[in-house]
Structure 1
Amino acid sequence: MCSHYQTLKNRAKFEKEFRVKLPPYEGVYDVWPTYQALFVRRPREADAGDEAVPDREAMAGVFGLIPAWAKDDKFARRTFNARSETAASLPSFRDAWRKGHKCIIPADAIYEPDWRSGKAVATRIVRSDGGAMGLAGLWSGWKSPAGEWVLSFTMLTINADEHPLMRNFHKPGDEKRMVVILPDGCHDDWLTAPAERSMDFMRQFPAERMTAST
């Protein structure tokens, strides 16, 4: 599970790599569950045929998906990752999955604990080519008891037991998991694909294109 990542600090790089215009938002660089950060989605009006509507938009949301039926925003503490194998059936994620509420989570780096020394060592993982990571996610909207509309998002994960790099993380005996890093050329495909094709994108990013450091 990935509970800590670094979003893109460079606004120009963010806008260029993900083809969005950023809102006047100053969020944190190091993101943990319940923190606010920017994610990229397809605008709700994108299919209306209005040429003034962009293909993508950047939105501020809570890291940790809050389903519409949640009683409070503390729900985000345990929904920052969604297992792709069960996202379509678990109550926390199934509405976002069924409605095709896909998003991309831009990141400079992700962090995972390396337990091979006997204790957790926080390890920073980046793309070897220095490019931005576009992580596959789901988003949702939630109306708070105070009447405030809150957006939130989660990262989709897949099994990594056999991944040459990501199998080294998390506690011994635990299933190894990794977030889905989308290839640069399929961002639009991910955002526009119908729900029944979502699993087609749940693939491991090549280990040789990733670098880990402590």
Structure 2
Amino acid sequence: MCGRFSLTISGDEISKYFQVSQVQDWKPRYNIAPSQEIVTIVQTLLGQRQLKGMKWGLIPSWSKDGKIASKLINARGETVAEKPSFRNAFKHRRCLIMADGFYEWQNTRNSKQPYYIHLKNRHPFALAGLWEVSNSGQTEEVLSCCIITTEANELMKPLHHRMPVILSGDAYSQWLDHNVFDREILESFLTSYGSDAMSAYQVSQKVNRPTNDNPDCLEPIVN
């Protein structure tokens, strides 16, 4: 699964790597948690990439209960095209969720040890996301999203059996394109990222608290 991630780069770097207009008043995030608002990229009907703030935790358009979002922070890539909560968004509302690392917890004898996982080159990347618009019983529309997961690669298997889908840069355009409906094409993107391009290290329990959103969340610990 994916329950925490980071996006610590500057607004200028976001514009550069993801080909969007300059990000205004962006503050780096070190410990992004479910239910918080995150910045995503969607494609307009004119084919332009656009930044959108969304709540992390999908609220299906048919749901009137906003509490369902806490159960839908992730969608399994193997069933995303079939599950009622996700299949419509999979066809019509796909997004990029920008990150430069994510966290996973390994079960140990006495507790759970958090790890920070990133690309070896330290470049940012995009997670495959879905989004929805719903009023969920409220007066205003709510934009919400989730992260698609897949089977863990060799690096991740000792930590968890699932990992978020990291899209290659070549996949961004098709993933965002409203005119791409082919299930086979879309599902071909939902694979595990190569272990040889990734790295992981232990971090402190500070990341366990969503209120801790500071650079020290990323600091490695030495056993």
Shorter chain as normaliser: what TM range?
Answer: 0.7 to 0.9
Give 1:133 shift: 1.6
Identity score, percent: 30
What do residues 5-63 of structure 1 show as CA deviations (whole Å, max 9, x unaligned)?
112441111111111125646577221111101001111x226xxxxxxx201100011
Match in the other structure for 1:166: 156
Shift of 1:157: 0.9
1:159-185 deviation digits (Å, cap 9, x = unpaired): 12xx21011113xxxxx1111111122
8 A Cα contact 2:148 2:164, kept in partner: yes
Whether 1:109 and 2:101 are equivalent positions in the alignment is yes
- Asked if 2 retains the 8 angstrom alpha-carbon contact of 1:5 and 1:109, the reply is yes
Structure 2, unpaired ranges of 5+: 203-223
Equivalenced residue count is: 198
What's the TM-score once normalised by structure 1's chain length? 0.85
3-state SS in 2 of match to 1:198 = helix
- State the TM-score, normalizing by the size of structure 2: 0.82
- Distance in 2 (CA, whole Å) between partners of 1:15 and 1:136 is 18
Helix, strand or coil at the partner of 2:5: strand
Alignment match, 1:191: 176
- The CA RMSD measured in Å over matched residues stands at 1.9
1:20 is aligned to: 20
In structure 2, relative to structure 1, the CA distance for the partners of 1:118 and 1:195 (3 Å cut) is farther
Residue aligning to 1:209: 197
CA–CA separation in structure 2 for the residues paired with 1:28 and 1:94: 32
Q: Cα deviations across residues 141-167 of structure 1 (Å, max 9, x unaligned)?
A: 11142321111111111112xx21011
Residue 138 of structure 2 is aligned with which of 146, 152, 158? 146
1:203 is displaced (CA, Å) by 1.5
| Superposed displacement of residue 72, structure 1 | 2.9
Cα gap change, 1:198 to 1:15, in 2 (>3 Å): same
Equivalent position of 1:34 in the other structure: 35
- Superposed, 1:122-137 pairs within 5 Å as 122-137=114-129
Return the alpha-carbon distance in structure 1 between the equivalents of residues 88 and 169 of structure 2: 27
